[in-house]
């Protein structure tokens, strides 16, 4: 019903017209606009008082978490003065995409390479938000090979020697025995189960019925030497083990433009200042104005920056070095940064082949079209990456082995890799041509992945490391926040970088709102 210009009063009609009242929705919108204008004015005023090397937020590390934090901050605080400091000469962190022939089927991902949108939806959202394309890549590997102690078998036909079970059924039998022995644990998330957090995966499997021979065989079959370490908690494998097998066959995707490109586009979209070759060596406690001084060596020259908030997005080894020289990071928090997770080295090498004129590359001719074959040899995993590349992917002590070999003589080491690949494939590789040796690319990551150590109370540790509290609800009193997959519940995955970044941003944004 339309409001009349004259309102009826208790004593009859008013003698003068009454102006129509603005609608409640309009008042609300006007209030929001006024607040936005006020915020921007306050932000501009604050920026005008900042010196050249003063920032409201300094982000240490130009990997995914650093670029993501800058991008998300801009959404709410477009006037914020933010800088990303990257110690290397390019952005990307442990996402490193290479194109050595200008015409790849897939970019050669020397760092992180895979996304599973069904279980990592936020990562997929960020890829598409940055205008990049997800490419489905099949993972199923039952027709591929497992080469163990000189014997070759199709993975779909393989059974562990002692128990006679498939690797999947072998794991399930151990899980069933555990849940029967400790039924009260079954309903809790894996990272909160004390039994799983106190045992390594080898110790867990042996305790619940596996022979040592089957355990050794199982890890060789998997191709991974990430969870076989006796210091890594079994809970981590139970939490994320599905991501390391073929179960999510139809869900695996790569980024067409390269995973590294997502980081660069986020950083650009954030409009944050980026300073490359800028290594931070120490962070001082806040001064009377609330600024923390950062000691930086930029292109070899010393410089001091100041920040109201510092977000550290580094692997554990680099974060530990910086934390030890930062007085604001002390006590239990410093101890957890230094000791709560185990570094796992990774190594990748791509062998590229000429495309035959009238046929397919040799491994596809032999029926190996996707997924990977595995072995107890040093190459561990061979991925049928695309129509021109084979990828050797090793972890743990085998990654360290190949790092030594390639540093000593990369060409000889590449020949050794290919010799092992041919041993694995036997008659299937009898007529295999040589790779294009000069197109061989490889990368060793001393800090490639991280896993929580046994005995760590993971949920509380994650929060303490990130913001200094013990839960998401506890306000952060620290000017320094730590982000990245290293201290997340999804270690080794970009989803972990987003998880901890979102957690840190809750506290950073709350502080910025108070300041404004």
| Residue 136 maps to a domain | no
Do the strands 292-298 and 301-313 form a parallel or antiparallel pair, or are they unpaired?
Answer: antiparallel
Please state, in angstroms and rounded to a whole number, the distance separating the CA atoms of residues 341 and 394: 20
Q: Determine the distance from the C-alpha atom of residue 33 to the mean position of all C-alpha atoms in its chain, rounded to a whole number.
A: 38
Please state, in angstroms and rounded to a whole number, the distance separating the CA atoms of residues 97 and 259: 6
- Final residue of a structural domain among 222, 248, 274: 248
Please state, in angstroms and rounded to a whole number, the distance separating the CA atoms of residues 67 and 168: 38
Domain that holds residue 209: 158-248
Smallest Cα–Cα separation from 297: which of 287, 285, 305? 305
Q: Return the CATH number at 511.
A: 3.50.50.60
pLDDT at 6: 29
Judge residue 109's burial from the number of C-beta atoms within 10 Å of its C-beta, 0-12 exposed, 13-18 middle, 19 or more buried: buried
| Residue 471 maps to a domain | yes
Smallest Cα–Cα separation from 148: which of 136, 130, 160, 162? 160
**Does 264 share its domain with 240?**
no
User: Residue 355 is encoded by which pair of tokens?
Assistant: 């495309």
User: Could you tell me which residues come within 8 angstroms of residue 128 by beta carbon, excluding any fewer than 6 positions away?
Assistant: 134
pLDDT at 29: 66
Q: What is the pLDDT along the chain (516 residues), one digit of tens a residue?
A: 333 332 333 333 334 444 445 555 665 666 655 665 565 555 555 555 689 999 999 999 999 999 999 999 999 999 999 999 999 999 999 999 998 766 666 899 999 999 999 999 999 999 999 999 999 999 999 999 999 999 999 999 999 999 999 999 999 999 999 999 999 988 899 999 999 999 999 999 999 999 999 999 999 999 999 999 999 999 999 998 877 878 888 899 999 999 999 999 999 999 999 999 999 999 999 999 999 999 999 999 999 999 999 999 999 999 999 999 999 999 999 999 999 999 999 999 999 999 877 679 999 999 999 999 999 999 999 999 999 999 999 999 999 999 999 999 999 999 999 999 999 999 999 999 999 999 999 999 999 999 999 999 999 999 999 999 877 666 677 899 999 999 999 999 999 999 999 999 999 999 888 876
Q: Please tell me what DSSP assigns to residue 233.
A: B
User: Residue 293 is encoded by which pair of tokens?
Assistant: 């001084």
| Residue 211 maps to a domain | yes
**Does 206 share its domain with 274?**
no
**Does 180 share its domain with 240?**
yes
- Final residue of a structural domain among 248, 276, 307: 248
**Does 303 share its domain with 170?**
no
**Does 169 share its domain with 302?**
no
pLDDT at 358: 66
Q: Is the distance from CB of 351 to CB of 417 less than 8 angstroms?
A: yes
**Does 238 share its domain with 287?**
no
**Does 179 share its domain with 242?**
yes
Please state, in angstroms and rounded to a whole number, the distance separating the CA atoms of residues 59 and 437: 39
Helices 167-181 and 212-222: crossing angle, nearest 10°? 130
Q: What is the DSSP string of 83-145?
A: EEE-SSSSS-TT--EE-SSS--SS-EESS---B-TTT-HHHHHHHHHTT--EEE-----TTSE
Smallest Cα–Cα separation from 346: which of 244, 238, 498, 492? 492
Q: Is the distance from CB of 488 to CB of 313 less than 8 angstroms?
A: no
Q: Is the distance from CB of 510 to CB of 77 less than 8 angstroms?
A: no
- Final residue of a structural domain among 248, 266, 291: 248
**Does 167 share its domain with 228?**
yes
**Does 192 share its domain with 325?**
no
| Residue 224 maps to a domain | yes
For the chain, what is the domain count?
Answer: 2
User: Could you tell me which residues come within 8 angstroms of residue 207 by beta carbon, excluding any fewer than 6 positions away?
Assistant: 178, 199
Please state, in angstroms and rounded to a whole number, the distance separating the CA atoms of residues 462 and 464: 6
pLDDT at 249: 82
**Does 194 share its domain with 222?**
yes
| Residue 284 maps to a domain | yes
**Does 460 share its domain with 490?**
yes
| Residue 444 maps to a domain | no
């Amino acid at each position: 019903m339309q409001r009349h210009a004259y309102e009826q009063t208790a004593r009859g009609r008013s003698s003068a017209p009454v102006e129509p009242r603005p609608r409640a929705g309009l008042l609300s919108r006007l209030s929001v606009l006024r607040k936005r204008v006020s915020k921007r004015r306050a932000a501009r005023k604050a920026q005008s008082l900042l010196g050249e090397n003063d920032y409201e937020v300094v982000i240490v590390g130009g990997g995914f978490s650093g670029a993501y934090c800058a991008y998300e901050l801009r959404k709410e605080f477009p006037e914020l003065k933010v800088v990303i400091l990257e110690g290397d000469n390019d952005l990307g962190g442990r996402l490193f995409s290479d194109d050595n022939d200008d015409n790849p089927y897939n970019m050669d991902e020397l760092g992180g390479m895979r996304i599973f949108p069904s279980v990592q939806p936020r990562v997929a959202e960020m890829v598409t938000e940055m205008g990049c394309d997800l490419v489905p890549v099949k993972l199923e590997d039952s027709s591929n090979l497992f080469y163990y102690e000189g014997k070759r078998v199709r993975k779909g036909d393989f059974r562990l020697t002692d128990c006679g079970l498939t690797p999947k059924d072998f794991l399930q039998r151990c899980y069933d025995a555990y849940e029967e022995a400790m039924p009260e644990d079954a309903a809790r998330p894996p990272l909160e189960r004390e039994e799983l957090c106190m045992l390594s995966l080898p110790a867990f499997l042996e305790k619940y019925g596996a022979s040592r021979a089957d355990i050794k065989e199982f890890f060789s079959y998997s191709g991974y030497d990430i969870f076989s370490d006796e210091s890594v908690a079994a809970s981590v494998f139970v939490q994320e083990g599905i991501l390391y097998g073929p179960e999510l066959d139809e869900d695996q995707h790569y980024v067409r433009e390269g995973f590294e490109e997502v980081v660069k586009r986020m950083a650009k979209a954030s409009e944050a200042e980026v300073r490359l070759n800028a290594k931070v060596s120490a962070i001082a406690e806040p001064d009377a104005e609330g600024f923390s001084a950062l000691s930086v060596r930029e292109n070899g020259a010393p410089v001091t920056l100041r920040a109201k908030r510092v977000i550290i997005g580094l692997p554990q080894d680099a974060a530990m070095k910086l934390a030890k020289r930062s007085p604001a990071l002390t006590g239990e928090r410093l101890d957890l940064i230094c000791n709560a997770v185990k570094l796992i080295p990774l190594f990748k090498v791509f062998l590229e082949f000429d495309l035959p004129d009238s046929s397919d590359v040799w491994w596809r001719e032999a029926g190996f079209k996707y997924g990977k074959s595995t072995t107890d040899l040093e190459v561990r995993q061979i991925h049928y990456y695309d129509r021109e590349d084979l990828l050797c992917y090793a972890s743990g002590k085998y990654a360290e082995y190949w790092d030594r070999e390639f540093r000593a003589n990369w060409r000889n080491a590449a020949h050794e890799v290919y010799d092992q690949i041919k041993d694995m494939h036997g008659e299937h590789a009898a007529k295999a041509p040589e790779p294009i040796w000069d197109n061989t690319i490889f990368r060793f990551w001393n800090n490639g992945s991280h896993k929580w150590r046994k005995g760590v109370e993971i949920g509380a540790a994650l929060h303490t490391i990130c913001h200094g509290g013990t839960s998401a609800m506890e306000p952060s009193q620290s000017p320094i926040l730590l982000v990245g997959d290293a201290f997340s519940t999804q270690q080794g995955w970009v989803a972990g970088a987003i998880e901890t970044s979102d957690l840190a941003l809750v506290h950073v944004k709350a502080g910025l709102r108070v300041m404004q």
